[in-house]
């Protein structure tokens, strides 16, 4: 039986991406890092992450439902902006609203490039031992904070293809039931700049990569269904 899993995070990139939100009455944009503005504490307080040096421009999209979404311009792609929908498959109201925003904007975002896509595979209780054993056949685990990463001998600390990690989702999301998450982060070199409207075309490839790494036969639920 195939195990159901879901897209948890989605990074979309395009030139002048900001214009989708500027001319939409349901959104406002706050500048955090531009040529004339630099407010790194605002960024870290909002997203719990530092404003990295490779981000040359950063803004916060405020939604009519009270969500805050990051909009970034990276040094390697200075002509493009990237919007990040992180936490789409959670267990709280924020995830529900974030998915609602993505659904509402899918018409305007359909030609954006998918630069990152995280697939979440959740297990009640612990991740099965057989899955972890399969992962360890070709990958070495190492722990960073509350997260365990699984890397091959060829992979460096960071790469543009794929990351695999596990963590206690119940602790992370403050749930009152035991829940563990196995997460696959598919990056730009894996996705080959597929557009959002065609993202489902790479699901079969992702499912095959997940099975190769873990032995799990999974079905990724379509994010824009």
Which CATH number describes the domain made up of 3-9+114-220?
3.30.2030
Strand partners for 30: 60
Which of these ranges, 4-13, 21-30, 39-48, 212-221, has the smallest mean pLDDT? 21-30
pLDDT digits 0-9 by tens, 51-104: 999 999 999 999 999 999 999 999 999 999 999 999 999 999 999 999 999 999
Cα separation, 119 vs 132, whole angstroms: 17
Do residues 67 and 97 make contact, with C-beta atoms less than 8 angstroms apart? Answer: yes
User: How many Cβ atoms from other residues are within 10 Å of residue 7's Cβ?
Assistant: 23
* pLDDT of residue 213 exceeding 80: yes
Do residues 33 and 57 make contact, with C-beta atoms less than 8 angstroms apart? Answer: yes
* pLDDT of residue 225 exceeding 80: no
* pLDDT of residue 119 exceeding 90: yes
Give the three-state DSSP class for 164: strand
Which whole number is the average pLDDT over 198-206? 97
DSSP the chain: -PEEEEEEEEEEEETTTHHHHHT-TTEEEEEEESSS-B-HHHHHHHHSS---TTEEEEEEEEETTS-EEEEEEETTSTT-EEEEEE-SS-SSHHHHHHHHHHHHHHHHHTTSEEEEEEEEEEEESSPPHHHHHHHTTT-EEEEETTEEEEE-TT--SS-SSEEEEEEEHHHHHT-SS-EEEEEEEE-HHHHTT-BGGGGGGGHHHHHHHHHHHH---EEEPPTT-
pTM confidence score? 0.94
Give me the pLDDT at residue 154, please.
83
Helices assigned H by DSSP within the chain: 18-22, 40-47, 93-109, 129-135, 169-173, 188-191, 203-214
Of 41, 40, 68, nearest in space to 55 by CA: 40
CA atoms within 13 A on the CB side of 155: 17
Mean pLDDT rounded to a whole number for the chain: 95
């Amino acid at each position: 039986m195939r195990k159901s899993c879901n897209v948890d995070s989605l990074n979309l990139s395009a030139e002048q991406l900001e214009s989708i939100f500027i001319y939409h009455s349901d959104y406002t944009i706050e500048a955090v890092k531009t040529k004339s503005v630099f407010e790194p504490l605002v960024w870290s307080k909002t997203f719990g992450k530092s404003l990295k040096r490779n981000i040359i421009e950063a803004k916060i999209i405020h939604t009519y439902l009270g969500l805050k979404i990051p909009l970034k311009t990276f040094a390697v792609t200075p002509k493009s902006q990237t919007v990040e929908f992180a936490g789409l498959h959670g267990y709280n109201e924020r995830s529900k609203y974030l998915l609602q925003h993505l659904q509402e904007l899918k018409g305007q975002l359909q030609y954006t490039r998918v630069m990152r896509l995280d697939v979440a595979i959740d297990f009640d209780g612990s991740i099965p031992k057989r899955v972890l054993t399969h992962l360890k056949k070709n990958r070495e685990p190492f722990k960073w904070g509350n997260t365990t990463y699984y890397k091959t001998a060829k992979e460096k600390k960071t790469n543009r293809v794929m990351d695999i990690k596990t963590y206690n989702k119940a602790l992370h999301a403050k749930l009152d039931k035991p829940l563990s998450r196995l997460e696959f982060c598919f990056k730009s070199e894996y996705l080959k700049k597929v557009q959002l409207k065609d993202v489902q075309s790479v699901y079969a490839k992702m499912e095959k990569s997940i099975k190769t790494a873990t032995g799990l036969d999974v079905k990724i639920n379509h994010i824009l269904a």
